Amino acid sequence: MAIANNIQAQHLNETQISIQSRKTSVLAFFHLVEKQTTFRFHFNPEAVENKALALSGNSDLETLLYEVAAQAKLGFKQVNESIAVKPTLKKSQKMVEVKINLSGRVLDAETHEPITGASVYISETSQGAMADLDGNWFMEIDESLLGKEIKASALGYDSKVLPIVRENIVFTLNPQELEEVVIVGYGTQKKINLTGAVSQIGSEAIENRPSPNLTRMLQGALPNLNIKMVDGSPTRSASFNIRGATSIGAGGDALVLIDGVEGDPNLVNPNDVESVTVLKDASSAAVYGSRAAFGVVLITTKNPVKGHSGVDVKISHSVNQRTVVPNLVTNGYEWAKNFDEAFTGWYDYKTHPISVNSIFPFSLEYLEELKNHNDNPNLPETVFNEELNRYEYFGSTDWFDYLHKDKMPATEASISASGATDKASYYISGLYYHQDGIFRYSSDRFDKYNLRAKGEVKLTDWLTIQNNFDLSTYKYEYPLLANGDAGIWRYLAVQGFPMAVMQNPDGTFTQSGSYIGASYVDGSSKSDQSKFFVRNTPTLTATPFGDLLTFKANFTFSKTFNKDSRFNNFVNYSSAPGQTARFGQSLLRELTDENTYWGSNITTELKKSFNEVHDFSLLLGYNVESNRASNLNAQRDGLLVETKPDFNLMDGLNYTISGGGSEWRYMGAFYRLNYRFNEKYLLEFNGRYDGSSKFPSDQRYGFFPSVSAGWNLSEEGFMSTTKSWLDNLKIRSSYGTLGNGNVAPYRYMETMTVAKTSVILDGIQKGYTYLPGAIPSGLTWEKATTFDIGLDASMYSGKFTLSFDWYNRLTTDMFTYGEPLPNVFGATVPYGNFADLSTKGWEYTMAWRDEFSLGSKPFSYSISGSVWDSKAKITKFNNPNKLISSTYYEGSSIGEIWGYETMGFFTSEEDVASHADQSYIVNSNNRQWLPGDLKFADLNNDGVINQGTNSVDDSGDRRIIGNNAPRYQFGFTLSGDWNGFGLSAFFQGIGKRDWYFAPEADLFYGPYNRPYGFQPEIMMNDIWSEENPDAYFPRFRGYTALSTTRSLGAPQTRFLQDASYLRLKNVTLDYTIPTPLISKLGLKKAMVYVSGQNILTFSGLYKHTDNFDPEIIESPTGGMTNSHGQGDAYPMLKTYTLGLNLSF
């Protein structure tokens, strides 16, 4: 029996019925009830059978209805004073369901206007309703839910929870836009009152995305925060760039602050992050001074919520795969045949190779025998040639597959506990992250640990002490080649011939194998890296006059230890039975560095309002910082025990010890003055007086002011007609200058290096030094002056928001080359403040959020995204002849590519003879040009293809053909939530970028670079021949891409690549388990999720190459994982994750 009680209706269990005769019928019972009560039965007489009943006697109506329902197989549902009669009762239907009708309204707390479309939801049962045009809502629930929680939410409003009662439930929701707070320098501000260019995201943007570091998770998440990840190594850090090109002199990355103190974002536990804020213009970043000349990234960690305590546990398991697996020719015979063709093509078809890269013997007879082995797979891969007394190899080895795993597991586990009362609060968290490496043998391994402890104690009503402790450490093991630190991928390019194999039949290594991973197989060479970071920040906050005046002082001390122990051992190999040789070195290196930092901030903030119209705030502060770095490196050869690398177990005579370091200090006083009139007109003045030890005493200090203003148009009377749809419209602008203090510490000083002679004199290597280089007569601050104008808008109760900024940043007095001097000067031209740069750009952000009823439950969704762009141009530079080289010239754009214009291929010998002379460009060993070779346009019509005097005014036949600076970068998110399920997808990419691969980009040029290099399948199927004249690649000649003076290595229009891309950076599906199912386990919340990262990529690169991740095309950064760049680097990874989040 289903019974729905109206709030004012009688209760069945309180309504007594007098039974005159226990034996009766259904219709007689209905009549008796209607006679004694106000209830009325409604039914279809033809469907309800008038069965005989035997009732128990006088009782309440609820009990009697149970008896009738059981005997007559009927169902009942009460609505107000009506009782509906159902003729049949399904087996799954409960005998008695007591319901009540709930109703109420949802109103705006400020205006008391109805909030149309607001969601009213009971999480315990997943029941919900939507408010109508008048804000009214209605739902039918079990009576047992009285006293439970019911929640109302609406886009643009803070949600509200109330207990379920029988009376009308009226929700009054506070608008979010008025309360949204943004982190700014040394404080917070309401978003509506911001006048600077600031962007911020919350923790939801990085949740449920396991990663070795936070930096990768922020890529594309904030407009004009440009993070370039050049490879997929778990230890790879990245510079944080804000708004494009900064300085070509001292450089200029953004200042990254973690809880107000400079730190490494790669060491932060992502689960600790509450928000990430980017301060972009001079006004918003001014209080941080010279180290913030090109913006600030503020990472704020979580704080406990007053009145709440709990424990959060997060566990996930991931499987990583390479985003790109090179698609190469791995058949030994096919590869060797192509090698021979490319080699002979370079030598104008006059000679064949006698070896492959001077290591692997080669001849036409060997090629024929290789064909026999290819045609007969039963023949052995390795044969001992008695006549030549050496092994011969006939393999078809896929070296990438041999050395790399297909899947790599990763695990993350974190726990946090927090609690807060009126007097004290705490937040403690820990994380463990493990990522298995990519190699099959002696694989790399990454283990990271984080610990954070934050606490606050209120000593008095006006005095509070806080402490923030952070400890991070990681260990990374990485296999090395026997001869040093070079990346394995470059060795695969020049030694990884498919015909070769790793081991001989007797188990010894082959000579080729010794070059390309034998040390991986036997684990004899390795790097053990470790980093240990600890930091502590105590803070004292005093408010002796309430909110009027706040004093705050903190002191930070941090220590960072880096250690890298690298050892190499010889690898023995054999070219014939009983013969051994060795490759590599026996060497131990200990590389250590230590960094000590301390800093202090003291601030006073005054806030005062007059007549609720005039609002003033004044921040005064003092900042001092000190940093000391030192390093100690030692190496020695002659390991006595290969498995015990220790300096005590070595006997080599070759050893070196080196050290060094640097030290700097900053000091600054700053202010920020804010004035607001009636929430309409906003004004802010900022300034900082900075001092730096990096400059000479007479140039050490500088004053850098800024100003910003805002106008909330939506608060004006003439905008009153827009109140129904426009929440806020603000125009803002800022102008200011910041000094750039990123110059190296000792550039203004004459420095002398001490070294040892390479010659032994009197039995020792004597020390020596030499005269220092010339230094500039003066060295002062680089200055970044920024003008910014922006607009912020919010509409339809916060459903739609947008923000737009345009800026022009002038970087002046950049530290670069001085004016060219005569050769008789006899020294390198000193640097000085000689160059200027202009960077102009814009950024646009929009978001739409809404919800509607789906299956009587609210479905909320959002679409948000950003796109941004910038262009930078040199406006001053010491290059009077405007030479085009690796340097700049006045008027040049950052990233411009100069190259030839490709007309296509020569079609005949007559075409070659009648065209301009191309002998300046090397095309073969004898500089012969044939049909199928590249044909370049004679742009200056002088009959010769060359680069003129290599200047802008005489560039010969070259012109600007592209620009490799990223343009139209973007990131956008799609998300939806319904009935406990959530789905989100985050896309990131670059809309436009030209790229010309450097000559040694072996995965692109293949045998055109070196005939013994990689052979990309996509290339080998698209090479010119008489039968394929429309191919993309020219006549097959090796070495033509070996340098920029050669026909394919020379930048040109035909092989300019489109490096734009769109990447599905993350997609996550989650499910929050209903509270009734987990509450008995002591859980407040439980969520299970699956996610994928980097799982889908579209790029213009893939038109002519499928061997590159569009993010791993940059020049090399050095080090073990990226020694050669251009694709020869640690691969980017895609990740599939299953995770569980629990809250207690």
CA dist., res. 669 & res. 689, Å (int):
5
| Tens digits of residue pLDDT in 233-278 | 999 888 899 999 999 988 888 999 999 999 999 999 999 999 999 9
Q: Which domains does the chain have, with CATH numbers?
A: 2-95 (3.55.50.30), 99-173 (2.60.40.1120)
| Tens digits of residue pLDDT in 494-507 | 999 999 999 999 99
For the chain, how many residues are written? 1144
φ/ψ (deg, to 5) at 406: -85, -35
Q: How far is CA 184 from CA 112, 284, 315, in A?
A: 32, 7, 33
- CA nearest 679: which of 255, 1111, 195? 195
Asked if 322 contacts 1132 with a C-beta cutoff of 8 angstroms, the reply is yes
Residue 180, token pair as written in the block: 């949204």
Question: Cα angle at 866 between 862 and 869, to 5 degrees?
Answer: 170
pLDDT at 5: 42
pLDDT at 679: 87
Residue that the structure tokens 């009325």 belong to: 40
pLDDT at 1123: 84
pLDDT at 821: 78
Asked if 328 contacts 466 with a C-beta cutoff of 8 angstroms, the reply is no
Question: Cα angle at 109 between 107 and 114, to 5 degrees?
Answer: 20
Element (H, E) at 64: helix 61-72
The 3-state secondary structure of 320-352 reads EEECCCCCECCCHHHHHHHHHHHHHHHCCCCCC
pLDDT at 3: 44
Strands 75-79 and 119-122: unpaired
pLDDT at 481: 95
Residue 43, token pair as written in the block: 């039914």
CA atoms within 13 A of residue 170's CA, in its CB half-sphere = 8
CA dist., res. 117 & res. 242, Å (int):
39
pLDDT at 91: 58
Asked if 625 contacts 666 with a C-beta cutoff of 8 angstroms, the reply is yes
CA dist., res. 144 & res. 554, Å (int):
53
Residue-by-residue DSSP string for 995-1007: E---TT-HHHHGG
pLDDT at 505: 95
- CA nearest 810: which of 738, 877, 750? 738
pLDDT at 177: 53
Q: In sequence order, what are the beta bridge partners of 543?
A: none
pLDDT at 1: 42
Helices (H), 466-580: 488-495, 511-515, 518-522
- With H, G, I as helix, E, B as strand and everything else as coil, classify residue 647: helix
Chain centroid offset of residue 536 CA = 27
CA dist., res. 892 & res. 882, Å (int):
9
Instruction: Give pTM, 2 decimals.
Output: 0.86
pLDDT at 747: 81
pLDDT at 353: 96
pLDDT at 786: 96
Q: How many CB atoms lie within 10 A of CB 64?
A: 23
CA dist., res. 1074 & res. 983, Å (int):
17
Q: How many CB atoms lie within 10 A of CB 437?
A: 21
Alpha-carbon Rg of the chain, whole angstroms? 37
Question: In this structure, which amino acid lies at residue 215?
Answer: T
CA dist., res. 1114 & res. 1124, Å (int):
9
Element (H, E) at 163: strand 160-163
Mean pLDDT, consecutive 10-residue segments, the chain of 1144 residues? Answer: 43 81 87 87 84 87 85 78 74 61 88 84 78 87 82 82 87 73 86 89 84 87 90 88 91 90 91 92 90 91 87 95 96 97 96 95 96 94 94 96 96 95 94 96 96 96 96 96 93 96 96 95 96 97 93 96 96 95 96 96 94 92 96 95 92 90 94 93 95 90 94 92 92 95 83 81 81 79 94 91 96 88 77 93 95 82 96 94 88 96 96 96 95 97 95 96 96 93 95 95 96 97 96 97 95 97 95 86 91 95 95 84 88 95 93
